[in-house]
Structure 1
Amino acid sequence: MTEFSLIDVAETPYLYVDRETGMAMAEIGEAMGSAFAEVWAFMQKHGVPPAGAALAVYYDYSPDRMAFRAGFTIARDDMAAAEAPVKADVTPAGRVAHGMHRGSYAGLQAAYGEMAAFVQAQGVDFAPPTWEVYLNSPDEVPEEQLLTGLYQALA
């Protein structure tokens, strides 16, 4: 079970590419992996260092399709390096619901259900976007030790 709280966050600049997939975990994983590789290659080519972790940002919510942005946090000054298909944006500043998910990415769906119940209990409403910050990688740690920060903007 993931514990949630309401916190205030600053906006975070990031470089990203857009992806859209079905909801199968293998398809999502493949799309995320290719997006991260594309943005990372762009950053290396243009000398843009990461300023933090990888992230995925969700603006469109659908039961059978997932549209998302995937990339890396960067310094604000490096946003000008964006060049299609790599784009730059910021996560929103302000009050958000936040939780830390530990374990497999397959458990994120249940964590989002817990987040929705938490937000409803607080008497506040969701607003786009939702984003995930990947604090480590399956290449670095066993699946049960994966850490994913979950953020939900509020209306």
Structure 2
Amino acid sequence: MKFEMTEVSERPYLYVERTTGMDPDEIGAAMGAAFGEVAGFLQEHGIMATSAPLSAYYEYDPEKLTFRAGFPVAPADLERASGNVEAGTLPGGRVMTFTHVGPYSRLRDSYAALMAHMAENGLEFGGPAWEVYVDDPAKVPEEDLHTLVYVSIAEPE
């Protein structure tokens, strides 16, 4: 797996936030429902996603997973958030990035490898981390799914 450091621009998105246990099936069901809710909101309000769906993680807890699942949108569409659908902006700045290929259930292994790489290079997690789901799991076999992962790097003090 190849890890790269790069700079990214801010990315506005509309999302719903969910919290689940750490069971991959529970996470998958909650994430699928969350994406469906936001996709329905976008369609109902005539909002176009600007790229593939994403989920963002702002904190780490070994017992539970809290995520924001949604879609990048044009900045002007942020003000249209309502109900359960909220507006947010992923930060710009330095990130470590890599492409995970394979089942979502193995993403934690890729994150572990990234964290080891960061520790070896004196880098610290700055929050948030986010994933962009390139492939549709309804159309692409699990072993061929591509997920782009971005992890914000803490700025040196």
TM-score (normalised: structure 2)? 0.95
**1:122 Cα deviation after fit:** 2.0
Aligned to 2:147: 148
Amino acid at match of 2:7: D
Deviations 1:122-155 (A, max 9, x none): 2121111111110111112111110001111011
Provide the secondary structure at the position in 1 that maps to 2:59.
Answer: strand
Supply the distance in 1 between the matched residues of 2:120 and 2:91 (Cα, whole angstroms): 23
Matched, 1:3 2:2: yes
Moved over 3 A (4+): none
Equivalent positions of 1:51-130 (< 5 A) are 51-130=50-129
Provide the secondary structure at the position in 1 that maps to 2:112.
Answer: helix
Deviations 1:45-97 (A, max 9, x none): 00001100100000121111001100011111111111121011111101001
Q: Which runs of 5+ in 2 are unaligned?
A: none
Supply the distance in 1 between the matched residues of 2:117 and 2:82 (Cα, whole angstroms): 39
Equivalent residues, number: 154
Provide the secondary structure at the position in 2 that maps to 1:61.
Answer: coil
**1:103 Cα deviation after fit:** 0.6
Q: Which runs of 5+ in 1 are unaligned?
A: none
**What is the RMSD of the two structures over their aligned residues, measured on CA atoms?**
0.8
Aligned to 1:138: 137
TM-score (normalised: structure 1)? 0.97
Taking only the aligned residue pairs, the percentage that are identical comes to 44
Amino acid at match of 2:151: Q
Deviations 1:81-121 (A, max 9, x none): 11121011111101001000011111101000011011112
